[in-house]
Amino acid sequence: MSASVLQNVTHSCFALSYLCALLLELGRTFWPGKGWRVAGLAFGAAGLVAHSAFILFHQPTPAAPYGSLLLLAWVLALFYLYGTVHHAKQAWAVFVLPVVIGLVGLSLALATAPNASEFTVPEWAAGDRFWGIVHGLLILGASVGISVSFLASLMYLLQARRLRKKLAPGGAVPMLSLERIETMNRRALNVAFPLLTAGLLVGTLLLSQGHVTGDNWLSLKVLTTAALWVVFLVLLYLRYGGHVPARRLALLSIAAFAILLVALVAAHPFAEGGAK
Amino acid sequence: MNLRAIGCNVESAAVELREKLAFDAAKTQRALAELTARFAAEAVVLGTCNRVEIYVSRQETVAALHVPMMAEFLSEIHGVPASAIAPHLYEHADASAAKHLFRVASGLDSVVLGETQIAGQVKDAFESAQKFGATGPLLNALFPNALRVSKRVRTETGIARGHVSVSSAAVDFVQQVFSSFADKTVLVIGAGKMGRLTLKHLAELKPAAVLVTNRNPERAASVAKECGGRVLPWDRLDDALAQADIVLSTTGAPEPIVSARRYAERVRPRRGGRPQVIFDMAVPRDFDPDIHDGDAVSVFNVDDLGRVAEARMAERRKHLPAAESLIESEVAKFVGDWNRRANGPVIGQLTSEVDKLRDGIMVPLLAKLNGKLSDAEKAQIEQAFRLFQNKLLHGPIAALHASSHEGQSGGLREALRKLFGLQG
């Protein structure tokens, strides 16, 4: 793929592809048939290819809100495709794609005209900023886990609501069993917490050594990330030690995702009052 | 096409008659042998608990088999008076017979709409007839088509979606909570009929263990023996409840055996938040409905399961028009294809016969005029004869093609055979 072709790939290309995939998936829930799924998968895969090409060409930094949101959306798009292929009968896309599209939209709102770079090591990955990147990647990994946990929690709440109301199983939006959703949630949290902890430690060291300019200990980003870690700690304690109903844990996971979004967006100049 | 589907089903005949007309392996073999030998017919015998049907196809040139003759035939096979059989038999002819088979194989003619078992029974009936050499070109084309259509109907419409019996709806519910059953324990409380039926469906999930408890130890032992379970004393009910993931309760107790308070105090704290599904199949109910929270504990009673089963059936009924439409188009395609296939030899014979007639007139004529005509003039005469022949045959052949689309070319083929003296 030549650089000129890659340059023409925009947010709209993959956002619209994901949207079409979502609409087709919704169509499948009302009118069953193989065609919907195949067409939805084709659009989803096309969106992922365009998304990958965009990231490859523009190489957004995970240390900035724009890049981290875009990269997070990309990982979740991968998760969507994997889930749709492996859980063919479930309405996987109905849950994952809105989040992917939302993250792409949010990144677009925070975009500050990304530069079309050459295929070289980007500036942000070189020299002193290496640990900043490590920090960004660790937080990104944790963000993926938190996002998966958020999706699992949404599915759990919907499935539990169906059971509480004793609605007919399956329905328009077929979903995984509570047990399977719970396993997915647990694994996501188990992966996310160490990454978040490590990311937070690296960030703390960078802050204490004055490697990071503009941020300070009381900045919104630092505070929300710390709050996220505390929520996670509570979440893990309740999950493994508190025997709290799974529905409450799901609500707490959703709250964690909301804090994550604030933490990811917080570094942007708008959120920092234009300080950066 | 000379196809007939003759038989009776749950709507046309009472179970007493259907029982008498049931085909075992020996009777099936005998019937197929008789039908092929006596009537020179292709035949398939389809016998299920809800229907007895015979599909027969004969040459188009011979008379079709009808209800009176089939009643006589069934009377000979089963020893039931034909007069007792005939009023309960229905008959579908040609395209209608094909449509009937497609509907039967797709579960549209079943008591439980969209049931899947019938497709296997149709397949078995066809394979059995094939094994005895009772099938021919038409049925060899019709039955595989019926099975293909049945698959299309099930996959392209929602006609077979979900369980529609009360006991099997329990499986759907339990699968909403658990995904693996190899590590799950089922507890059976009591020994009611509905409970046993539900247990049969749950046992298909292959749980790790089945525990059985009952006020009457002997009845507990009997149920445990039936399902390969382990008996627990009645006074250890709380322990069993704390241990079990799926509970099936069917006692005849006049009031709940597990109150919300008892569950909250003696069972819930010991479960560590693990989900539990309780099927309370007893009337009056065995479990206090307040135990249900749809998160850690889900309690479903007979009414809940019945409502789901009925909702499923209503959902299936919504897909009926789509399924019928698919079958209509498949029948039209099958009949059209079959007629085109059957028209081929007739058109071939017709052309060949008229070729012979033409040559019978043209060749002596050209011989008589030999020497008086140039080669160009001879060619013109030959061309004129061919043109006349083509114009003469265009009408019948076009009518044959047109009628094959309408599914009524059998009569026309027969007429052409008679008019032009073609062989059958």
- Would you say residue A261 lies in a domain? yes
- Would you say residue A49 lies in a domain? no
- Would you say residue A233 lies in a domain? yes
Compute the distance between CA of residue B396 and CA of residue B403 in angstroms, rounded to an integer.
Answer: 10
Instruction: Tell me the shortest Cα–Cα distance from A253 to chain B, in angstroms.
Output: 16
- Would you say residue A78 lies in a domain? no
> How many residues belong to chain B?
424
DSSP H or E run through B211? strand B209-213
Compute the distance between CA of residue B138 and CA of residue B247 in angstroms, rounded to an integer.
Answer: 52
Beta bridge partners of A83: none
Q: Which two tokens stand for residue B259?
A: 């109150």
Instruction: Tell me the shortest Cα–Cα distance from B155 to chain A, in angstroms.
Output: 7
Q: Do B173 and A169 count as a contact with CB atoms less than 8 A apart?
A: yes
Residue of A nearest to B315 (CA): A171
Domain span at residue A166 reads 120-275
Question: Counting beta carbons within 10 angstroms of the beta carbon of residue B364, is it exposed (0 to 12), middle (13 to 18) or buried (19 or more)?
Answer: exposed
Mutate to test the interface with B, among A164, A165, A166 (most CBs of B within 10 A): A166
Give one DSSP letter per residue of B49-89, joined into a string.
SSEEEEEEE--TTSPPP-HHHHHHHHHHHH---HHHHGGG-
- Would you say residue A240 lies in a domain? yes
Contact by Cβ (8 Å): B1, B403 = no
Beta bridge partners of B7: B53, B90
- Would you say residue A220 lies in a domain? yes
Dihedral pair phi/psi, residue B56, rounded to 5°: -130, 145
What sign has the CA pseudo-torsion A170, A176, A182, A185?
Answer: negative
Q: What does R_g of chain B's alpha carbons equal in angstroms?
A: 33
Count of structural domains within chain A: 1
For residue B342, CA distances in Å to B41, B47, B346, B409 come to 17, 30, 7, 9
Three-state SS for A229-269 is HHHHHHHHHHHHHHCCCHHHHHHHHHHHHHHHHHHHHHCCC
Task: Classify residue A168 by its DSSP letter.
Answer: P
Chain B residues with CB under 8 Å of A244 CB are 273
- Would you say residue A23 lies in a domain? no
Of B162, B176, B315, the CB nearest to A159: B176
- Would you say residue A68 lies in a domain? no
Q: Looking up tokens 């523009």, which residue turns up?
A: A58
Q: Helices B320-368 and B95-105, interaxial angle, to 10°?
A: 150
Helix (H, G, I), strand (E, B) or coil at B3: strand
Residues 6 or more apart whose CB falls under 8 angstroms from that of B190 comprise: B214, B249, B250, B251, B252, B253, B282, B286
For residue A164, CA distances in Å to A230, B79, B292 come to 31, 57, 7
ipTM (interface pTM): 0.76
Q: Is B73's Cβ below 8 Å from some Cβ in A?
A: no
- How would you write the pLDDT of chain B (424 residues) with one tens digit per residue? 789 999 999 889 888 888 889 888 899 999 999 999 988 899 999 988 789 999 999 887 788 888 999 999 999 999 999 999 999 999 999 889 999 999 999 999 988 888 888 899 999 999 999 999 999 989 999 999 999 999 999 988 888 877 777 777 888 889 889 988 999 999 999 877 777 778 888 888 889 999 999 988 888 888 888 888 899 999 999 999 999 999 999 888 888 899 999 999 999 989 888 899 999 988 788 999 999 988 889 999 888 888 888 888 888 898 899 999 999 999 988 988 888 787 777 888 888 888 888 888 888 888 888 778 888 888 888 888 888 888 888 888 888 777 766 656 667 777 777 777 776 5
- Taking any CB pair shorter than 8 Å as contact, residues of chain A touching chain B are 32-34, 159-166, 168-170, 176-180, 243-247
Three-state SS for A212-227 is CCCCCCCCHHHHHHHH
DSSP H or E run through A101? helix A92-110
